[in-house]
């Protein structure tokens, strides 16, 4: 018996978590974090397949687009077929990543879709009024303080953000139509409403190509001796920052910066929790 395993190697990229949003103990998914791993995945094996696992409730449309485009560019340059496997959820920006696949698969209980754009915030103008606090804002440019959470909402500001959302939504729709051409079966009103579905329903309306797990599908394509090699993403998380050694002359400033970073990460964790909770996770 040979001391080393043989068989085709399929590189695996795992995109897990909100997109473009840093969280405690885990970096957010962004092109800066993912670029090196994506490049490596498309060049590490002669096998004509690259597998991508997606488990994301969405996030930044820009980072979703940048990661999507990098995958497609490298797939075409290296003549690779991309197989995407959705886990708990591939919704909104998560589904944007999924359509980078030439074929998309999911679990029966996966949540798929949410092809839409959302903006959420809070209004504190009535709260500060009750507390006797006045908001003083001075700008150069009449729209510089649009949607300020401490000022009353203005109808033209709302229309402006909705116009922006429509533009981003149209781009998202265009990408889905292009990548799923000939496979979409639902009405556009239904598909692009921001709704989401289970794996079997997503298959019925053409958002995915089948219900399967990564190991079974790769064995079907490349034989029982296929090996799945996960390519780790880069790390820019909280633990990495806290482990940096302090210099004698910068101790106080660096410690203060780390405390601020911790506060920012805790806020990001709350926002990330809100994204996941939309899908009951």
Q: What is d(CA 211, CA 221) in angstroms, rounded to the nearest whole number?
A: 15
Asked if residue 137 is part of any domain, the answer here is no
Q: Which of 10-24, 119-133, 140-154, 213-227 has the highest mean pLDDT?
A: 213-227
The end-to-end CA distance of the chain, in Å, is 45
Asked if residue 160 is part of any domain, the answer here is no
Q: What is the pLDDT of residue 273?
A: 58
Asked if residue 141 is part of any domain, the answer here is no
Asked if residue 27 is part of any domain, the answer here is yes
Q: What contacts 266, CB < 8 A, 6 or more positions away?
A: 24
Q: What is the pLDDT of residue 255?
A: 53
Name the strand (E) or helix (H) holding 127. Answer: helix 125-130
Q: What is d(CA 34, CA 15) in angstroms, rounded to the nearest whole number?
A: 9
- CB burial of residue 139 (10 Å; 0-12, 13-18, 19+): exposed
The domain in which residue 17 lies consists of 9-114+195-277
CB contact burial 97-136 (16+ within 10 A = b; e otherwise): bbbbbbbbbbbeebbbbbbbbeeeeeeeeeeeeeeeeeee
Q: What is d(CA 167, CA 160) in angstroms, rounded to the nearest whole number?
A: 11
Asked if residue 2 is part of any domain, the answer here is no
213-238: pLDDT as tens digits: 999 999 999 999 999 999 999 764 44
Q: Which stretches within 138-281 are classed as H helix?
A: 155-179, 188-191, 199-204, 214-222, 238-242, 251-277
Can you give the CATH number for the domain in which 32 is found? Answer: 3.90.226.10
Q: What is d(CA 215, CA 224) in angstroms, rounded to the nearest whole number?
A: 9
Q: Following DSSP, what letter does each residue of 41-88 receive, concatenated?
A: HTTS-SSSEEEEEEEE--B-HHHHHHHHHHHHHHHHHTT-EEEEEEEE
Q: How many domains does the chain have?
A: 1
Name the strand (E) or helix (H) holding 97. Answer: helix 93-98
Asked if residue 183 is part of any domain, the answer here is no
Q: How confident is the model at residue 256 (pLDDT cuts 50, 70, 90)?
A: low
Asked if residue 213 is part of any domain, the answer here is yes
Asked if residue 4 is part of any domain, the answer here is no
Q: What is the pLDDT of residue 275?
A: 57
Phi and psi torsions of 26, nearest 5°: -155, 135
Q: What is d(CA 223, CA 217) in angstroms, rounded to the nearest whole number?
A: 10
Q: Which of 18-22, 89-93, 184-188, 263-267 has the highest mean pLDDT?
A: 89-93
Q: What is d(CA 152, CA 123) in angstroms, rounded to the nearest whole number?
A: 8
Q: Helix (H, G, I), strand (E, B), or coil: what is residue 258? A: helix
Q: What is d(CA 268, CA 30) in angstroms, rounded to the nearest whole number?
A: 14
Q: How confident is the model at residue 250 (pLDDT cuts 50, 70, 90)?
A: very low
**Token pair for 48:** 């004509």
Using alpha carbons only, how large is the chain's radius of gyration in Å? Answer: 22
Q: How confident is the model at residue 152 (pLDDT cuts 50, 70, 90)?
A: confident
């Amino acid at each position: 018996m040979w001391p080393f395993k043989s068989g085709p190697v399929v590189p695996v990229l795992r995109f897990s978590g909100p997109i473009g949003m840093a969280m405690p103990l885990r970096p957010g998914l962004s092109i800066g974090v993912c670029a090196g791993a994506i490049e490596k995945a498309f060049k590490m094996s002669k096998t004509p397949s690259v597998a991508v696992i997606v488990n994301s409730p969405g996030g930044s449309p820009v980072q979703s687009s940048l990661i999507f485009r990098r995958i497609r560019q490298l797939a075409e340059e290296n003549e690779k077929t991309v197989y995407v496997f959705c886990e708990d959820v591939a919704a909104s920006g998560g589904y944007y990543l999924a359509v980078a696949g030439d074929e998309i698969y999911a679990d029966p209980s996966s949540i798929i879709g949410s092809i839409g754009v959302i903006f959420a915030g809070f209004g504190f103008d009535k709260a500060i009024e009750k507390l006797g606090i006045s908001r003083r804002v001075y700008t150069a440019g009449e729209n510089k303080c649009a949607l300020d959470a401490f000022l009353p909402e203005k109808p033209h500001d709302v229309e402006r953000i909705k116009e922006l959302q429509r533009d981003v939504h149209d781009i998202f729709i265009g990408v889905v139509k292009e990548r799923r051409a000939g496979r979409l079966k639902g009405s556009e009103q239904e598909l692009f409403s921001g709704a989401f579905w289970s794996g079997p329903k997503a298959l019925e309306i053409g958002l995915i190509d089948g219900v399967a797990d990564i190991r079974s599908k790769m064995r079907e394509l490349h034989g029982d001796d296929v090996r799945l090699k996960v390519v780790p993403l880069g790390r820019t998380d909280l633990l990495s920052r806290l482990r940096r050694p302090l210099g004698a002359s910068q101790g106080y400033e660096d410690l203060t910066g780390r405390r601020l970073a911790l506060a920012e990460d805790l806020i990001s964790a709350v926002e990330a929790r809100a994204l996941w909770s939309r899908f009951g996770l």
